[in-house]
Amino acid sequence: MGELGLIEQIRSRFSARGRGVALGIGDDCAILRPPAGHEVLVTTDFSLENRHFRRELHPAKSVGHRCLVRGLSDLTAMGATPVAAFLSLALPGDFLKARKGQRWVAGFFEGLHLLAEQSGTTLAGGDTSESPADLIFADIVLIGSAPRGRSLRRSGARAGDEIYVTGALGGAHAELSALLGLGRAARAGAAGHPHLYPEPRLGVGAELMRRGMATAAIDLSDGVSTDLAHLCEASGVGAEVEEGAIPLHPLTKRLGRKKALDAALNGGEDYELLFTARAGARVPGRIAGVAITRIGTIRKRNARVPRVVIRGAAGEVRELMPAGWQHFSS
């Protein structure tokens, strides 16, 4: 299989048209047609071998799924509806000559296609290239739409707002730790595979925007400690998190309480949503079938107090340092 064969395989799997896509794969450019009165939202994410996945540990289907979920989660955090995706994929020079490589590519696109179908996202184009090293590189661009002026931002939180998260936290870190320790993926139980196959909270983001309930929102890709700090900085506020309120994923039980809390606060890649709402707002316990938990309060920014603090079970308060993932950091 050469480049033309690979492109034909992709074209045959993905439709050339979809919601908001007038023309997709097959021409020099795609043609998008967002609904009247809507704005276009754009996000992009790398998936780099040995940085975001390991070929010997992560199933190709998981790599394709995770490649798409990263961008979908960004759109979700702003209440956007997915429209189209554009994928640039670089493969080692001799990768497609071997059946093993061909099977990997098929698995990658199976994972991406399944999530694209579930989320109503059309793969509308992209590029293919030979990688300059024996590594796989994927870059995906996601296009979404939202009613003009209605998208959720990081900058709307105000003192007195309550802080909420969706789902449970720390599961992705717990599964990754097990994956690295065992050298293989564990069987999926009732808790699922939060690292290998995370779920974008598309329904929650759309519902928060529709109800006008959230004052600010961000997706938890880098961990609560880092992402909440981003939201507070954008909004010019501080925050206090309640340690006992953090919803821990069932997979964190094997880690022990201290490591479980660290996984929930700093582990990242949970792809849950963190959002704020006005005090007294009627925030339901579930939105779009997903559990919603209040974990803290937005405070006025005080230069003499750390931007984000966490209150322990005994009432002690300490700084919650941004300790999630950061590229170019030691």
Predicted confidence at residue 11, as pLDDT, reads 74
Domains 3-147 and 162-319 share a fold: no
Query: How far is it, in rounded angstroms, from Cα 213 to Cα 147?
Result: 15
Pair 323, 228: CB distance under 8 Å: no
Mean pLDDT, rounded, for 261-283: 96
Q: How confident is the model at residue 206 (pLDDT cuts 50, 70, 90)?
A: very high
Residues 141-184 pLDDT 10s: 999 999 999 999 999 999 999 999 999 999 999 999 999 987 77
Phi–psi pair at 33, nearest 5 degrees: -135, 85
Say what the pTM is. Answer: 0.93
- Say whether pLDDT at 41 is over 90: yes
Phi–psi pair at 23, nearest 5 degrees: -150, 125
Closest to 217 (Cα-Cα) out of 208, 44, 225, 130: 208
Q: Does domain 3-147 have CATH number 3.30.1330.10?
A: yes
Pair 171, 250: CB distance under 8 Å: yes
Query: How far is it, in rounded angstroms, from Cα 160 to Cα 219?
Result: 21
% of the chain residues with pLDDT over 70: 94
Predicted confidence at residue 101, as pLDDT, reads 93
Q: How confident is the model at residue 227 (pLDDT cuts 50, 70, 90)?
A: very high
Domain ranges of the chain: 3-147, 162-319
Mean pLDDT, rounded, for 24-33: 89
Phi–psi pair at 147, nearest 5 degrees: -55, 135
Average pLDDT of the residues of the chain: 92
Q: How confident is the model at residue 20 (pLDDT cuts 50, 70, 90)?
A: confident
Predicted confidence at residue 295, as pLDDT, reads 98
Q: Domain spanning 162-319 has what CATH number?
A: 3.90.650.10
